């Protein structure tokens, strides 16, 4: 798969180079003219001073290969973490909470990764007829009272439901969740 994708990238670059100037990699695509003023009548000739040139840079082969390799490494790391089963389920909260702008939060699952940091996965629903933007914060506490918090910005359209993943930076074994919202 790696070699097929790399061959495809090189094929696209080669075909773009042949279409460019002189069979070499062109530093920019064809130059287009863009009108700066919209008040020129439709039948009038465009003066040279009323136009400007816009260049579209073409990505280099090296940059495309580096981006492809980075995406491939990220996918391989994700597959490794999933196969290694490094997360343990700590809290399963099936209750659905109605928070300040009428948003429903829940059910939620809290797991800990191999370091011990909590990962909260929660479903957020906007049953309202209007779109809503809010800051969603969760505080995770352990039995001794130590807390860790995570927050994210939630943008939901009317009658929309999404699942969010919040990562807490501190190492705690979660026992209790506390939800807070702030409309933005």
Averaged pLDDT score across all residues of the chain: 76
Tell me how far CA of residue 170 lies from CA of 144, 149, 153, 174, in angstroms.
14, 8, 20, 11
Asked if the model's pLDDT at residue 13 lies above 90, the reply is: no
- What does the pLDDT look like over 69-79, one tens digit per residue? 888 888 888 78
- For the entire predicted model, the pTM comes to 0.55
Residue 29 binned pLDDT confidence (cut-offs 50, 70, 90): very low
Neighbours of 39 (CB within 10 A): 5
The full set of domains in the chain, from first to last, is 2-12+27-84 (no CATH), 88-183 (2.60.40.10)
Residue 16 binned pLDDT confidence (cut-offs 50, 70, 90): low
Contact 125, 161 (CB under 8 A): yes
- What does the pLDDT look like over 150-182, one tens digit per residue? 999 999 998 899 999 998 888 888 888 999 988
* Alpha-carbon gap, residue 99 to 136, rounded angstroms: 10
* Alpha-carbon gap, residue 16 to 64, rounded angstroms: 14
Neighbours of 175 (CB within 10 A): 14
Mean of the pLDDT values across residues 116-139? 90
Position with higher pLDDT, 162 vs 4: 162
């Amino acid at each position: 798969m790696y070699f097929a994708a790399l061959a495809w990238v090189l094929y696209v670059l080669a075909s773009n180079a042949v279409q460019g100037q002189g069979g070499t990699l062109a530093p920019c695509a064809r130059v287009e003219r863009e009108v700066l003023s919209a008040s020129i009548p439709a039948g009038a000739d465009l003066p040279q001073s009323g136009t400007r040139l816009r260049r579209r840079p073409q990505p280099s082969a090296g940059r495309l290969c580096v981006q492809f390799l980075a995406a491939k490494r990220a996918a391989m790391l994700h597959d490794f973490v999933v196969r290694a089963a490094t997360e343990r389920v700590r809290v399963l909260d099936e209750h659905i909470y109605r928070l300040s702008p009428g948003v429903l939060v829940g059910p939620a699952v809290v797991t800990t990764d191999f370091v011990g940091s909590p990962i909260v996965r929660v479903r957020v629903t906007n049953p309202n007829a209007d779109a809503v933007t809010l800051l969603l914060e969760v505080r995770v506490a352990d039995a001794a009272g130590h807390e860790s918090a995570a927050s994210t910005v939630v943008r939901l359209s009317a009658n929309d439901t999404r699942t969010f993943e919040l990562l807490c930076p501190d190492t705690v074994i979660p026992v209790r969740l506390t939800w807070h919202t702030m409309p933005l």
